[in-house]
Structure 1
Amino acid sequence: MTDWSERMASGTKILHRQAVRIPLPDVDAERSLHENMMRIADAGQRKAELLDDPDVPLTEVYEDELAEMRQSFKHRLQQVAGEDYYNVATAYLDGERDDWVGALAAYYLECYYRLQERYTVDEQIFFLVILRYPDCFTVNLSFLSGDISDDAVRYESAKHLEADLDERAREQYYADCQYSQHEAAEYLRERVGCIRDAFPDPETTPVEQRQYGGFVHVTGRDGTTFSEILDSLSPDPNRFDDEISAPGLVPEGPETGRAKENYVADAEVEL
């Protein structure tokens, strides 16, 4: 981990403000995308149910979500670069290879490592954008610092409280935390449909109705307070004018730039 961090610090400016662009050459590829997005939507629904369960600490809710995301990135790493993905990624960063496999391995592996710190580091904002275009889709995962906007739902975690409260104050604070988590659960239940709407089933949806779609997911923690945004995001139909035959890195795109301005004040990109 230390060795990787040193490599990233010295040579990864190329990864900043970048997204992964993946081609959609046929219905099979579209079906795979749809199924992956439904898994993300299902995970959001499961998170809402766990948030609403008073017997489940918030730390466990996020460990469940984090485990799912770690597995997803590890799967992507293995798909892109095989079991030797770490050496492929470091070879790219060390200038020993210059291809899309190495670039994507480095991108995914850094995201994988950053996720390890996601809920232990204050003021690090997780910012995910996935956008669908007629012949491809893009995935942009950023880690920011700044202030999440008032559009977010905010909820409290009793597990992260360090203050020494008396029994009565602690009971009241615990009740307030449960109420705020219930409100967050309701928010997620209402919003998770935007993921399903953005990536409909290609078997049942006409092609002209599934060419464009997307969503943005923002989460962060400041002390005991967690913030979260889940919203639809419209792709720019003029973003790409070239054909794509293989995955690769592209600039993050104007849609993501505007979303960062809308949802994170004074945003600074860490990745």
Structure 2
Amino acid sequence: MGKQRERYNGSLDVLHGRAVVTPLPDGDAEREFHRNMMRVADAQERKAAMLADPDVPLLSAYEREMEGIADAYRTRLRSVVGDDYESVALAYARGERDDDAGAIAAYYTEAIWRMQQRITVSDVLFFPIILRYPDCFTVNVRFASGHRTTRSVLYESPEHLTEGLEAKHAATYVEESLYTQREAAKLIGDTAGIIREEFPDPDEAPFEERKYGGIVTAGGRKETVFSSMLERVEPDPDRFAAAPTRPGLVEAGPEAARTERELLPEGAFVL
């Protein structure tokens, strides 16, 4: 009987109140960061196109979006930790190593694992913030209670309806749900433009136009209702006065606290 592969089951403690900081020491690093952010923008556009298509189940669009974000995290993991990042994350979780690479591996692996769980979990909001500073960028992955922010767009999923409806009412409900998806698709598609504006191509935009940028996104669901949000965030110019020399974990920063105050409904809290 073959040895069963150990499965990663981490803890939200590795995420809570912390972010990953990654230096941007040269043009190659800036280009890689830009490519990763364009993958996130592409994922938003794909989600919008799928939501607008009545033949595509909403869950498929949701799963595709999560996988696009997870792929961006895996790319960062491989660039910092290497292809064996899952083993590194497991070693860190077991207390067998306590270095920057192990902490980053555990952080992103935990984020990916939690995102995969969200596909079937209700009332958990995925609430990350990505910020660009002159010499580095940070990724702060957060999960919050509830299913929406105060500025989320909402849309319905007929596939998640558990109660039975009469044929007449069921047809009306499906049509109304598809309408909410089409309306949400317009807004979600536009958010890809925000990402492209906040993180421009380093080969096309001068440094003064790209040294600061930021976005906060949020997505969740409650039973049949899904939510989505993406907005700009202004990075704190006083943070990272001294350029980080290597990737590592840092405190989430004042921008995270500000977005929580502005966007989380009363009574919601970061997990």
Spell out the pairing of 1:103-252 with structure 2 (5 A cutoff): 103-146=103-146, 148-252=148-252
2:268 corresponds to: 267
1:75 corresponds to: 75
Letter aligned with residue 213 of structure 1: G
- What TM-score does the superposition give when structure 2 sets the normalisation length? 0.92
Compared CA separation, residues 67 and 149, structure 1 to 2 (3 A): closer
Alpha-carbon distance between aligned partners in 1 of 2:15 and 2:63, rounded to the nearest angstrom: 27
Compared CA separation, residues 101 and 2, structure 1 to 2 (3 A): closer
Quick check: 2:147–2:222 contact (8 Å CA) kept in 1?
A: no
Compared CA separation, residues 154 and 81, structure 1 to 2 (3 A): same
Percentage of pairs with the same residue: 47
Letter aligned with residue 267 of structure 1: A
Give the deviation of 1:43 after TM superposition. Answer: 1.4
Alpha-carbon distance between aligned partners in 2 of 1:86 and 1:206, rounded to the nearest angstrom: 37
Quick check: 1:147–1:267 contact (8 Å CA) kept in 2?
A: no
For structure 2, the residue ranges without an aligned partner over 5 or more in a row are none
Spell out the pairing of 1:34-73 with structure 2 (5 A cutoff): 34-73=34-73
Quick check: 2:36–2:72 contact (8 Å CA) kept in 1?
A: no
SS in 1 for 2:241: coil
1:190-245 deviations in Å (ceiling 9; x for gaps): 22211011111111211111110111110010110011111111101012222211
Give the deviation of 1:14 after TM superposition. Answer: 4.8
Alpha-carbon distance between aligned partners in 1 of 2:14 and 2:165, rounded to the nearest angstrom: 47
1:36-91 deviations in Å (ceiling 9; x for gaps): 11121111111111100011110111122222233333333333333332332222
Count of residues in Structure 1 that have an aligned counterpart in Structure 2: 266
SS in 2 for 1:68: helix
Alpha-carbon distance between aligned partners in 2 of 1:117 and 1:14, rounded to the nearest angstrom: 17
Alpha-carbon distance between aligned partners in 2 of 1:13 and 1:40, rounded to the nearest angstrom: 25
Q: CA RMSD in A?
A: 1.8
SS in 2 for 1:197: helix
Alpha-carbon distance between aligned partners in 2 of 1:162 and 1:171, rounded to the nearest angstrom: 15
Alpha-carbon distance between aligned partners in 2 of 1:3 and 1:268, rounded to the nearest angstrom: 28
Alpha-carbon distance between aligned partners in 2 of 1:44 and 1:180, rounded to the nearest angstrom: 17
Quick check: 1:217–1:230 contact (8 Å CA) kept in 2?
A: yes
Alpha-carbon distance between aligned partners in 2 of 1:191 and 1:85, rounded to the nearest angstrom: 31
Alpha-carbon distance between aligned partners in 2 of 1:148 and 1:59, rounded to the nearest angstrom: 17
Quick check: 2:40–2:72 contact (8 Å CA) kept in 1?
A: no
SS in 1 for 2:217: strand
- What TM-score does the superposition give when structure 1 sets the normalisation length? 0.92
Give the deviation of 1:156 after TM superposition. Answer: 0.2
Compared CA separation, residues 122 and 256, structure 1 to 2 (3 A): same
Compared CA separation, residues 54 and 78, structure 1 to 2 (3 A): same
Alpha-carbon distance between aligned partners in 1 of 2:42 and 2:69, rounded to the nearest angstrom: 13
Quick check: 2:103–2:249 contact (8 Å CA) kept in 1?
A: yes
Letter aligned with residue 242 of structure 1: A
Give the deviation of 1:146 after TM superposition. Answer: 3.3
Give the deviation of 1:2 after TM superposition. Answer: 9.2
SS in 2 for 1:216: strand
